[in-house]
């Protein structure tokens, strides 16, 4: 054999392995042969032949033993999870075989993925094919649910049964029942059904307060109509805000169409959530799913069972987020609370003395950390209750008493369209300028029409004020935590400001009030 002169062969030193006594000769020989591959490997084999495993092996074994086994949980909870099928009446003069799948697919994309799909008209039947003239029941959708009580109360999502004319429930033992819709609440996406049966298996409801991020959870449901499918994952986040009334539980449990309304279960076999939504850019599962916390769902379900509807409180304000800059300029310390952007005339908030620009920090003794905490706290308050509300007005805390009213049933919020500028002012006698902001006096008619006591109108914007987002037509209500009654007061406040430091400005645009922070150029 010829050797490559560019390569050098290096003989590895002989390795010695200590084999514990009591090991058979052939095992000693095997350990010696493996010594050429390194002391660590041979030692691992030799020690592994004894009764005491090496630390690495012990750790690996412990890790394997520590992996969760969901079999017992599935056996415990699975029988109480149901498959829900809904049907709807096809319109007269339309072929039901064609109408059903098309409407079901549109509902699939609209409800589960939030993808708007334009409705298509009915397809033309082949010549000679007679369309059905009478209304017929056609398949509409598939979902999941779970049994709350042995006498047949079932919880699911509102969107699973929305628009259904008939609801059928199938248990894991293949029994089927027709269900009545006791009530559905679209705001929280919770519905309660009732089947006429007794002795049914039930679930145990857990405590969401004890749920921890990183904890193992499983989902049981009927994705794509595959009954009692089990998927597992962990809790990714709690109180996830998606803009809805409910602070969702976020998980990485695989959720697909048909899982809606099924239970999210912890390792103690308790239901901690109702699977409701997923986040998706492609229309498929992408590792992020959301569940309604069971305490929120139970509160809604109790009202649906008692009253058939959900009663919520309201105070009549439009609110927005408190930014970090605004919080610092108002001396709040941190960006928390809800900014009151407008107050409905004659509402509980109006009667209590709330004003646009107030920062709500507490309601009925509970802290408002994020702006959307406020509607949840108010909504869970019984109408007619007298509550306390803490606000920060121009940097000063105030305590107000408010009587909560009842929210209209399933009222849809008006879209927050970009409001039109304030009405044109009469010729202005004078103007003042601050950091690129030129303002003029408001007439009495303008104040009356806008329903404000004071303020000045923005005539021109330049420099720092323009960069802050102010524009012509805005109404300045306060500067540096000082209410602005008229042009003279604006000039007085402006004269005392340190022009080299940021200043907060409360302004109104149309029906909305908002803070900005004007930062001078350095």
Q: CB-side exposure of 27: number of CA atoms within 13 Å?
A: 15
For 492-522, the DSSP string reads: HHHHHS-TTS-EEEEEEETTEEEEEEE----
State the residue for tokens 């054999």. Answer: 1
Both structure tokens of 324: 């970090």
Alpha-carbon distance of 245 to 297, in angstroms, equals 12
Catalytic, 431? Answer no
List the alpha helices (DSSP H) in 206-293: none
Question: Residue-wise over 277-313: b if at least 16 C-beta within 10 A, else e?
Answer: bbebeeeebeebbbbbbbebbbebbebbeeeeebebb
Q: Is 302 a catalytic residue?
A: no
- Spot the catalytic one: 144, 185, 189, 440: 189
490, 435 Cβ separation under 8 angstroms: no
Rounded to whole angstroms, the Cα distance separating 445 from 449 reads 6
**Which residue in 144, 159, 373, 440 is the catalytic one?**
159
Of 332, 374, 340, the closest CA to residue 358 belongs to 340
The dihedral sign for the CA sequence 37, 38, 40, 42: positive
CA distance 133 to 124: 15
Residue 214 DSSP one-character state = T
Cα separation, 186 vs 111, in Å, equals 12
Query: Mutual orientation of helices 39-48 and 25-33 as an angle, nearest 10°?
Result: 160
Active-site annotation holder among 144, 222, 236, 260? 260
Token pair of 30 as six digits: 């095997």
16 catalytic? Reply is no
For the chain, what is the radius of gyration of the CA atoms?
33
Q: At what angle do helices 39-48 and 55-66 cross, to 10 degrees?
A: 70
Known catalytic residues are: 159, 189, 260
């Amino acid at each position: 054999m010829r050797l490559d002169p560019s390569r050098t062969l290096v003989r590895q030193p002989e390795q010695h392995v200590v084999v514990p006594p009591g090991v058979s000769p052939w095992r000693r020989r095997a350990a010696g042969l493996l010594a050429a591959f390194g002391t660590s490997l041979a030692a691992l084999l030799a020690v592994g032949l004894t009764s005491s495993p090496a630390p690495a092996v012990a750790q690996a074994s412990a890790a394997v033993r520590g992996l969760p086994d969901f079999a017992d949980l599935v056996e415990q909870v699975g029988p109480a999870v149901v498959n829900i099928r809904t049907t709807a009446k096809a319109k007269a003069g339309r072929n039901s075989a064609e109408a059903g799948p098309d409407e079901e697919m549109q509902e699939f994309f609209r409800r589960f993925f939030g993808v708007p799909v334009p409705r298509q008209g009915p397809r033309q039947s082949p010549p000679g094919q007679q369309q059905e003239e009478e209304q017929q029941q056609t398949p509409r959708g598939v979902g999941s649910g779970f049994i709350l009580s042995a006498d047949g109360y079932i919880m699911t999502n509102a969107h699973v049964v929305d628009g259904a004319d008939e609801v059928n429930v199938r248990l894991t033992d293949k029994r089927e029942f027709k269900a009545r819709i006791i009530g559905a609440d679209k705001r929280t996406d919770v519905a309660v059904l009732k089947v006429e049966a007794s002795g049914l298996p039930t679930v145990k409801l857990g405590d969401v307060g004890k749920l921890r991020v990183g904890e193992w959870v499983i989902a049981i449901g009927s994705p794509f109509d595959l009954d009692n499918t089990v998927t597992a994952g962990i809790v990714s986040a709690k109180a996830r805000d998606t803009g809805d009334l409910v602070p969702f539980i976020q998980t990485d449990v695989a959720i697909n169409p048909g899982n809606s309304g099924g239970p999210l279960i912890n390792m103690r076999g308790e239901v901690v959530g109702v699977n409701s939504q997923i986040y998706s850019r492609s229309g498929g599962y992408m590792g992020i799913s959301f569940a309604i916390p069971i305490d929120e769902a139970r509160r809604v379900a109790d009202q649906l069972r008692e009253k058939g509807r959900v009663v919520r409180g309201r105070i009549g304000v439009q609110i927005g987020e408190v930014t970090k800059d605004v919080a610092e300029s108002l001396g709040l310390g941190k960006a928390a609370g809800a900014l009151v952007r407008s107050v409905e005339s004659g509402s509980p908030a109006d009667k209590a003395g709330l004003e646009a620009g107030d920062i709500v920090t507490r309601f009925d003794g509970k802290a408002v950390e994020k702006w959307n905490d406020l509607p949840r706290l108010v909504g869970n308050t019984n109408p007619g209750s007298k509550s306390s509300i803490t606000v920060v007005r121009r940097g000063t805390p105030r305590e107000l008493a408010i009587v909560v009213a009842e929210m209209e049933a399933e009222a849809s919020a008006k879209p927050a369209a970009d409001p039109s500028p304030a009405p044109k002012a009469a010729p202005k006698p004078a103007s003042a300028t601050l950091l690129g902001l030129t303002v003029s006096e408001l007439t009495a008619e303008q104040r009356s029409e806008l329903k404000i006591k004071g303020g000045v109108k923005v005539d021109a914007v330049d420099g720092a004020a323009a960069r802050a987002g102010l524009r012509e037509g805005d109404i300045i209500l306060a500067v540096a935590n000082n209410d602005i009654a008229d042009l003279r007061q604006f000039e007085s406040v402006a004269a005392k400001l340190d022009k080299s430091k940021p200043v907060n400005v409360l302004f109104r645009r149309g029906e909305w009030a908002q803070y900005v922070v004007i930062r001078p150029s350095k």
